[in-house]
Amino acid sequence: MKQYDIVCAGNYTKDTLITLDGVDYVDGGGMNYAAHVAHQFGMRTAVVTRLAEEDQHVVDNIRADGIDCYPFYSPTSTVMTLEYKTRNVDERNLYVKTIAGTILPEHLDGLEARAIVVSPSLRGEVEPAFFTTLRKREGVLISADVQGFVRVLQGELLVYQPWPDMELVLQNLDILKTDAVEAEYLTGEADIERAAKRFAECGAKEVLLTHREGILVYAESEYHHFAFKGSSMVGRSGRGDTSVGSYVSKRLSLPPREAAKWSAAATSLKMERVGYFNRTVAEVEAFIARHYAE
C-alpha cells in the first residue's frame, strides 16, 4: 500500500479558455489544480486520472512536479472549451468534444490516504456507488465537487440538470464543494448561506461554496466568509479546484475557519495567473497576514 496525505481523483481535461482578452490552452482537470496546491502546502499527494496516451506529457509533468500520478488510459482525453463572454467570472459556457470515461473505485486500490478529493468535470465521470465504496475506508476525509453531478452533456454543450442521487452522495461526504450558480440551481436558494445550509441538511458535513467575491464555508452550524483579495481574476479556471485542494489540505490539521482562510488566500493568489497554483507557503502566509488579519 502506498501512503499519502491526499489523493486527488478526476479526469484530465484538455482545456481551451476563451475570454475577452484572448485564447489560452491549458492542461486542466480538477485533480490537477487540487493536487498542485496540496503539494505546495507540503502534503504527500497523488493523482488518479484518466486520459489518452497521446497526452502522456500531463502525467510526466505532474510527476516532474513531485506528485505521484496513476494514469488509466482511454481512447480519448476529455476535451473542453470554457468560454467567458463577459467580465463576470461566474458566467461561462462549457463545451465538451470527447470524454475520457469513468473513474472506478478499483482505480484507487493500493492507495491509502488521509483525504480523498474527487474532482469530476461532468456527470458520469464518477458514479454514486464510488462514494459508497470510499466511505468504507475508516477515518478518511472525503470531498467531492457538485459540478461533476449537475453538469450533463447534451451534444457538445454542458448544461445543468437536476441531481437525482444528491442525497445518496452527500450522506457519504465530509466536504461538498459547490459554486454559487450550482448551489442556486440545486437548492433554489439565491442566498448562499441558505443554499449551503440546505446541502448540509441533505447530508454534507461541511460545505465549501465559491462565488464571485470569495468563499463561504458552512461547518458545525457556523458560517465563515472570506473575500478574494487577489490583484486579478485572469486565472479564474481552476478556482474551485484550488479552493477545495487548499481547504482539504489545511482541514487535516486546522478547524474550518482557519482552513477557509488559507483556502481564500491560496485561491486569490492562484487566480492572478493562468494555470495551477505554484506559490510557496511563505507567500500564502504573507498574503493572510496582509489581507485576513483578525
How many CB atoms within 10 Å of residue 147?
A: 24
pLDDT exceeding 90 applies to what percent of the chain? 84
pLDDT tens, position by position, 77-118: 999 998 888 877 667 888 999 999 999 999 999 999 999 999
pLDDT of residue 294: 73
**Looking up cell 454534507, which residue turns up?**
204
- Tens digits of residue pLDDT in 69-78: 999 999 999 9
How far apart are alpha carbons 120 and 126 in whole angstroms? 7
Kindly tell me if the per-residue pLDDT of 60 is higher than 90: yes
Query: Could you give the CA distance from residue 90 to residue 213 in angstroms, rounded to a whole number?
Result: 10
Give the pLDDT confidence score for residue 22 in this predicted structure: 87
Predicted confidence band of residue 232 (pLDDT cuts 50, 70, 90): confident
* Residue showing cell 467570472: 89
Distance set, CA 13 to CA 46, 57, 81, 223, 291 (Å): 17, 13, 9, 33, 33
Bridge partner residues of 74 (DSSP):
52
The share of the chain scoring above pLDDT 70, in percent, equals 99
Q: How far apart are the C-alpha atoms of 247 and 270, rounded to whole Å? A: 14
Give the pLDDT confidence score for residue 50 in this predicted structure: 98
* R_g of the chain computed on alpha carbons: 17
* Position 289 pLDDT exceeds 80: yes
CATH assignment, 2-291: 3.40.1190.20
Q: Which residue has the cell 498574503?
A: 287
Cell numbers that stand for 75 in this block: 481512447
Read off the pLDDT of residues 183-216 as tens digits, 9 standing for 90 and up: 999 999 999 999 999 999 999 999 999 999 999 9
Task: Determine the Cα–Cα distance for residues 138 and 114; give it in Å rounded to an integer.
Answer: 9
What mean pLDDT, rounded, does the chain reach?
94
**Residue 155 contacts by C-beta under 8 Å, 6 or more apart in sequence?**
none
3-state secondary structure of 52: strand
Higher pLDDT, 277 or 19: 277
Which residues, at least 6 apart from 71, have a Cβ–Cβ distance to it below 8 Å? 49, 50, 51, 56, 59
pLDDT digits (tens, 9 = 90+) for 235-287: 877 899 999 999 999 999 999 999 999 999 999 999 998 888 999 999 999 99
pLDDT at 64 over 90: yes
Is the Cβ–Cβ distance between 80 and 11 less than 8 Å?
no
Identify the pLDDT of residue 91. 77
CA distance linking residue 201 with residue 214, whole number of Å: 23
* pLDDT one-digit tens code per residue, 129-158: 999 999 999 999 999 999 999 999 999 888
Alpha-carbon 292 to chain mean position: 23
Provide the terminal-to-terminal Cα distance of the chain, rounded to the nearest Å: 42
Using CA atoms, how far apart are residues 184 and 227, in angstroms rounded to an integer? 19
Among 258, 167, 185, 189, residue whose Cα is nearest residue 220: 258
pLDDT score at 89: 65
What HEC string does 13-30 produce?
EEEEEEECCEEEEEEECH
Residue 58 in grid coordinates: 500531463
pLDDT, residue 140, reads: 98
